[in-house]
Structure 1
């Protein structure tokens, strides 16, 4: 038997920036008068479709009601489009990649105007 390990294949995972709109659901943790929220997420996946599926699944497990997901692409794609990406955002993207995770970076509740 050989003690040599196979070299680890480079990960095909990439991190995608997703904007998820959620509706209200009991126990969702949103402020009482909020009608929903927008969540800026960084999610790892081999493609954007996988990142979206994983994000929606995790958000449903967290008792939220995902309604719509808009993808903004990978870090490289966003840079090509001229998006300004600060160090904190880059660190969260790296964390999502390192942990093969979905990171909710920002929550913006929606309120109806009366």
Structure 2
């Protein structure tokens, strides 16, 4: 008996994840951590956060904090300008039910936040 595919309730959330240092994390020498801009699919923001943290841990990073910026529609309602490249990455995250790391900004010295 074939399962009928239900319409997806997945949405893509924009998340800013701060990571600390961990052996094998791939951050540049001298970095104290980094901020990762991620697009993650989920039925709600909590699921997107859980999936993102789990994947980042599997990738030998040390997630410390996650800030959610909402869905594409929520960001647009807040007046965020979203360029075509960012929209394409968000669509890819949705199509692949994935977490996409769109940008990494390493921290050096006393920097702790963006």
> Higher Cα Rg: structure 1 or 2?
1
Return 5+ residue gaps in structure 1 as ranges: none
In the alignment, which residue of structure 2 is the partner of 1:21?
18
1:42-84 per-residue CA deviation (whole Å, 9 max, x = no partner) reads 0000000000000000000000000000000000000000000
Of the three residues 33, 38, 48, the one matched with 1:51 is 48
Aligned residues: 110
In the alignment, which residue of structure 2 is the partner of 1:30?
27
Shift of 1:8: 2.9
Q: Distance in 1 between matches of 2:55 and 2:3?
A: 32
Pairwise CA RMSD: 1.4
Of the three residues 3, 6, 11, the one matched with 1:9 is 6
TM-score of the pair, normalised by structure 1 = 0.93
TM-score of the pair, normalised by structure 2 = 0.93
